[in-house]
Amino acid sequence: MKCVTIQYLEAIRNLKNQGIKLKRTIHLTFMPDEEIGGVLGMQAFLRSEEWKEMNVGFALDEGLANPINEFTVFFGERMPWWVKVSCPGNPGHGSRFIEGTAAEKLRTVINRFLDFRQQEKNRLEANPELTLGDVTSVNLTKIEGGIQVNVVPSELVAYFDIRVT
């Protein structure tokens, strides 16, 4: 979250302007691929000599913005699990009732994913003690397939973004 990053920068600037000396050096790292698991960013950086030399005591993630003068401390990350489902089926002309199409198969898959999504959403809404981090979220994020509007495709592909607690 850019707003939280700006808050961190402003806090460090205020410390510096006030002449406050800390026992440890503050390091800011900005990694490019946090939304896809950090493989090319933070994960690679953790293997470097530069990381070892920094002697990090603790780290703050992007966190959540807060409009009042408080800082919410929490821990927990939901692990991303991106699922690609390919459904082959019988192709044909769009004017016919073709059996065993990719769309029929994909509909079954989508319905099961979305049924589970609804169960998790209901669980979250039914228990005020639960937060988003306590349940698994599922979202259909992308569908691919077909070459023409009048041709039943031989394959459809769906992508799901699942965040597992």
Cα angle 98-100-102, degrees, rounded to a multiple of 5:
100
Model confidence pLDDT, tens digit, residues 37-61:
666 777 788 888 988 888 887 777 6
Domain range for 11: 2-54
Cα angle 85-79-1, degrees, rounded to a multiple of 5:
110
Which of 123, 114, 107 minimizes the C-alpha distance to 161?
Answer: 114
Q: Are residues 85 and 131 in the same domain?
A: yes
Model confidence pLDDT, tens digit, residues 104-141:
999 999 999 999 999 999 999 999 999 888 999 999 99
- 141 forms beta bridges with none
CA-CA distance, 13 to 70, in Å (whole number)? 18
Q: Are residues 89 and 155 in the same domain?
A: yes
User: Into how many domains does the chain fold?
Assistant: 2
Determine if the pTM surpasses 0.85: no
Q: Are residues 98 and 154 in the same domain?
A: yes
